[in-house]
Chain A
């Protein structure tokens, strides 16, 4: 009974294995800047068509949010009557390198802060403007615009000094089993990178392209949205957007991906 039940599955897998091996053999190639030693960007796991979408700055659907980000950068908002440009002038200069360093330790907060949180700190304290909601189009546009200024620069976060204990927390989270499926991040993204979970090819799970346009979302989305999705997939209760847990994890991931280029805004499946 057991053999009969799975016979169909084995036949399908066997027939397709040959064809797919041919297809996936093509993945063993020199990926240039998208590879750093053993590290491989999510770009290298995407299909040819998806990569083409990322490579074309105009056709990249993220460009819609980039445009909006640029508009918001120049727009005066809040009671102080300032825009981002009032203090930071030309984003291409002032924001260059930001995405390679964040999240960073904030002395007054006593913990890490990421780019989204820094944007809202600026809005509250400098602009006296209402904070952007997580995952709102405005927040995504602002984040992708700021981070996009570091495109192609290698990720280079600091994990020593005051950031160290938070890095350790993020690392512990990465290796901790959670959820009904009792899986840790590492089970998919370390042990099974390059393998398939159903019909999805598992990547190494790097964060260098976020915020990115995800075909599955048909929208630009943040890293924390992806974390929440991963947690839901393993049937764990997800943490909140901007939670300490996710910001610490964000630092660990950035450190883990040190050397890969900032690809914001990327396009992924």
Chain B
């Protein structure tokens, strides 16, 4: 957790000059003091609730997220799971979780062989810099997982 930086102590010109150094200040002040945020443990718990004790494997999932989110309230997310999407071999569901939001569950998406492609895109909210996790359940019972970190900056020019 980064220390709260007291910007008021700096003069206005100094603030603009510092900002002008081209540095992105990943400073989270205590702007979200009252949110009880999830963490990797609660995300793990939420994942377990859906897939049980199954072991998860790496691979097959491509998770598309920006490295830095322009605004945490609208972060485009897309994912695709490699699969022939036939009756015999398809993706049953993909569950998205966040490690740093008040609630770890983001969405559960259920596919069918008629989907043709296990790919979907949406926009999600992110309370702060955190990992986003995608868990894919396959028709044969196997489970795959992918994780990506997105940096979320707190703005400055709200209005």
Binding site for B on A (CB under 8 A): 8-9, 12-14, 16-17, 19-21, 23-24, 46-50, 52-53, 181-183, 187, 191-192, 195-200, 202, 215-216, 218, 226, 228-233, 269
Contact = CB atoms under 8 A, between A and B. Distances in A.
Nearest to B74: A215
B153 interface: yes
A196 B158 contact: no
7 nearest interchain CB pairs? A229-B159, A198-B156, A199-B153, A215-B71, A47-B70, A13-B23, A195-B20
Contacts, number: 117
A20 B66 contact: no
Contacts of B69: 47, 49
Contacts of B5: 8-9
A199 B12 contact: no
B20 A17 contact: no
Contacts of B26: 12, 16, 199
B23 A229 contact: no
Nearest to A15: B23
15 contacts: A9-B5, A9-B27, A20-B24, A49-B70, A192-B19, A192-B20, A195-B20, A197-B16, A199-B24, A199-B27, A215-B70, A215-B71, A218-B74, A269-B70, A269-B155
Given A187-B16, A196-B24, 6 more contacts: A48-B66, A192-B20, A198-B154, A199-B26, A200-B156, A216-B155
Given A200-B157, A215-B74, A218-B74, A12 B66 contact: no
Interface centre among A17, A46, A191, A200 (most CB of B within 10 A): A200
A198 B155 contact: yes
Contact of A20 (B20, B22, B154): B22
A239 to B, nearest CB: 14
B109 interface: no
B18 interface: yes
Nearest to A182: B12
Chain A binding site: helix, strand, loop or mixed by DSSP? helix
A23 B66 CA distance: 13
Contacts of B75: 49
B55 to A, nearest CB: 33
A218 B15 CA distance: 28
A21 B20 contact: no
A197 B156 contact: yes
Interface string B6-25: 01000010011011111111
A134 to B, nearest CB: 16
B116 interface: no
Nearest to A192: B16
Contacts of B16: 187, 191-192, 195, 197
Contacts of A215: 70-71, 73-74
